[in-house]
Amino acid sequence: MDAFLHAYLVPLFLIPLSLYLFSSLRKKGSNDLKNLPPGSKGWPMVGENMEFALLGPQKFVKDRMSTYSPEVFQTSLLGEKMAIFCGAQGNKFLFTNENKLLTSWWPQSMKKALLFPEFIESDLKEVSALKRSFHHDILKPEALKQYIPVMDELARGHLDNEWKPNSVVKVLPMSKKYTFDLACRLFLSVVDPMHIKKLSDPFTLVTNGMFSVPIDLPGTAYNGAIKGGKMVREELMRIIKERREVHEGEGRDLLSKMLLVTDEDGNFLSEMEISNNIIGLLVASFETTSSAVTAVMNYLAEYPHIYDGVFKEQMAIAETKACDELLRWEDIEKMKYSWNVARESLRLTPPAQGAFRETTTDFTYAGFTIPKGWKTFWTVHSSHKNPKYFPEPEKFDPSRFEGSGPAPYTFVPFGGGPRMCPGKEYARLEVLVFMHNVVRRFKLDKAIPNEKIVFYASPTPVHGLPVHLRPHKN
């Protein structure tokens, strides 16, 4: 709470009074004549940022669905008029109208921290389209198969160095270290710990402030994110230029492949375009994938019968392999129950809370008008814990994913439509490889049984999820 007050709320009260007066005296626009979704705009300038932060996204959405509408409601977040679409139908509408009624949109804080300031909005859209096409090619299962042994090798080394010497470990910082180390190795062939730290330290600043109120004053999360983003971009540009100068575009890492990519006119990607693509993947590895790993470890430690089921499946796989033989694609395909456990973990504790879009025209949804220029947001919380889609939604039950699994558009931890997360399969492999190695070596017990979860860029255990490690007897 103190961190939130310091980073978000205090700067808001430093805004000159004249801005408030200007806001309160604005003339009513044409939107006042339209049948807008019900909701609240919150306080002038502040909107409902305070309520969103204090309640957390799940309760914020649930309360407003109950008060205003279970289909769509309006609010004001990050300085923008916003329509929150709810439930499976809301998800379906946004996913299927991408590039028709909606276009991509990033909060100012995210654009400034993660993307090069020189890009104008049209450039961002072009880069985004290129990025999705390229990512889908290199992150397909057939392209990722070659990386499974590398993931396994790094997971083994990580547990040897970071977990084995300790009786208690904090899962969240350990998972961030593992996922970021792996990303640096697979994307950039960077393996030196000090070099990795040179990237990971500023990334902490970026992820802490990329969804903050865009007020650039010393000490704010936004200011820290800008500084961190600048450091990350400078280091990536240095790496990319160095690799291009030595014509190293024939390796197996992501950067090598990106150095060889050309557009329809035969032009290679610029260093700036390459760096932005890599930044997006590094952020996902540093924040969302590590959050997914943490969520899975949390439930394995909390529910012994779930752990036992995963342990049984993983040991059956291990018994078919030689002592030092690394995992391969065929082994991953056998991890059916483990993946159901992981998916149930992502349902209850999704790493990403949803995604933003911007309307390109007026349109009607559920009887309400959504004006052109408004921002939209779909949220996992309106479906993941909805008893209409998931009976006893708070119960941890991996069997929900057996057979055909949940109904379409109800389970959306990776989004959907044209902008579904291209790293979905990468995350699946990383989580399963880590699960395999942890349960083979340790039984987990939570050190703080009812540890509170707070929301920053992703769900965050306030104490980092400390667990007692109980090594298996050989």
User: And the tokens for 260?
Assistant: 């060889």
User: And the tokens for 258?
Assistant: 């990106």
Can you say how many angstroms the Cα of residue 193 is from the centroid of all Cα atoms in its chain?
24
Q: Which of 427, 159, 446 is nearest to 293 (CA)?
A: 427
Q: Any known ligand binding at 421?
A: yes
Q: Any long-range contacts for 7-11 (C-beta under 8 Å, 24+ apart)? A: 7/208, 7/209, 7/212, 7/219, 7/220, 7/221, 7/222, 7/224, 8/49, 8/53, 8/212, 8/213, 8/220, 8/221, 9/50, 11/213, 11/215, 11/217, 11/220
Cβ neighbours for 305, distance < 8 A, ≥ 6 positions apart? none
Angle, to 10 degrees, between the axis of helix 271-283 and the axis of helix 221-245?
130
Q: What is Dmax (Cα atoms) for the chain?
A: 75
* CB neighbour burial string for 203-225, b if at least 16 within 10 angstroms, e if fewer: bbbbbbbbbbbbbeeeebbbbbb
User: DSSP assignment of 309-345, as one string?
Assistant: HHHHHHHHHHTTS-TTPPP-HHHHTT-HHHHHHHHHH
**β-strand partners of 146:** none
d(CA 298, CA 466): 9
Half-sphere exposure at residue 433, Cβ-oriented, CA atoms within 13 angstroms = 31
d(CA 467, CA 148): 26
d(CA 412, CA 393): 15
148, 433 Cβ separation under 8 angstroms: yes
d(CA 227, CA 223): 6
**Binding site feature residues:** 421
**Binding site feature residues for heme:** 421
